[in-house]
Amino acid sequence: MFPHRLASSLLALVLLIGLVASAAGASIESSAPAGPSPSVPPSESVAPSESALPTPTPVPTTRVVPVLMYHRIGNPPAGARYPGLYVAVSSFRAQMNWLYMHGFHPITAAELGVALRYNRPVPIRSVVISLDDGRPDSYTAAWPILAKYGFRATFYVIPGLTRFTVGSRISWAQAATLAAAGNEIGNHSMTHTSLWLVHGAALARQVVTAGKVIETRLASLGVTYKVTTFCYPYGHWTGDALLLLRDAGYNAAFTTQYGRAVIGSTNRLLVPRLRVDRSLSLAGFAYRLPH
């Protein structure tokens, strides 16, 4: 019986040693610092769920855009042929300040033209500031005020009357400066001739060739530019002129007819504008604009 008892005692001793070793291992494990979860590598972080991402705020848009029409900025000289077309510098400054304080965002006629052509709404409180005829005061008087407020505008020039030096019109160098600053240089016909009076090749020169001259002159001064809008001299247009503009790829053409551009319904080649003249008070100016 002795060997049997000895074997039993040895087996009990082995089991006891195993239990003690197991308990010691558990104690060491519980006292060790906790490591990263095996499912997440230490160098990676858990990405937020998609539901936690903020919802983008939609930008309010509009389909009604006022296009302001200016001609001269300054005081009319004695004997001026059209004194009513002059807007005093102080009035122009007050009007631009009103636009700025009421949150308006000037866009170019070219940008409006794209919206009209492709039926795309524009940011709310968009407005186009257009200055016709390319007179020197549009550069010397209007542009500094526009730049002060960070505004861009559309300057409609007459290439057949524009020279490389300042005369009765801005120079090509000034036009290039305006274009390089983000303004639009638009086509106001070759010589400001009523389109009612010209036909055929003469009409094409006034409408299509004029735009190409603008592009060529600006390119010669290092400004690559594409003319995409037209402004009818005296507001006079014909069916043939509309066809020429359409075939030449123009996005929009502007009249002197009173009204606002409505994206989706306004004929893009007969866009109305809001005349701003010497008799218009600041209250009258504000009345014409949505606010």
SS (H, E, C) 131-166: ECCCCHHHHHHHHHHHHHCCCCCEEEECCCCCCCCC
Q: What is the pTM of this model?
A: 0.80
Amino acid at 65: V
Q: Print pLDDT tens along the chain (291 aa).
A: 444 444 444 444 444 444 444 444 444 344 444 444 444 444 444 445 555 667 677 779 999 999 999 999 999 999 999 999 999 999 999 999 999 999 999 999 999 999 999 999 999 999 999 999 999 999 999 999 999 999 999 999 999 998 877 789 999 999 999 999 999 999 999 999 999 999 999 999 999 999 999 999 999 999 998 999 999 999 999 999 999 999 999 999 999 999 999 999 999 999 999 999 999 999 999 999 986
How many helices (H) and strands (E) are present in the chain, helices listed first?
10, 14
For helices 210-220 and 172-180, what crossing angle results, to 10°? 80
Task: Reduce the DSSP state of residue 272 to 3 states and report it.
Answer: strand
Task: Reduce the DSSP state of residue 115 to 3 states and report it.
Answer: helix
268: CB partners within 8 A, 6+ apart: 113, 116, 117, 251, 252, 253
**Residue with tokens 């001299």, as numbered in its chain:** 233
Domain at 61-287: CATH code: 3.20.20.370
Contact 82, 200 (CB under 8 A): no
Q: Which token pair is 82?
A: 């059209």
Contact 73, 141 (CB under 8 A): yes
Q: How many CA atoms lie within 13 A of 290 on its CB side?
A: 15
Rounded distance between C-alpha atoms, residue 223 and residue 189, angstroms: 20
Q: Which token pair is 65?
A: 């855009």
Q: Are strands 67-70 and 271-275 parallel, antiparallel or unpaired?
A: parallel
Rounded distance between C-alpha atoms, residue 207 and residue 241, angstroms: 7
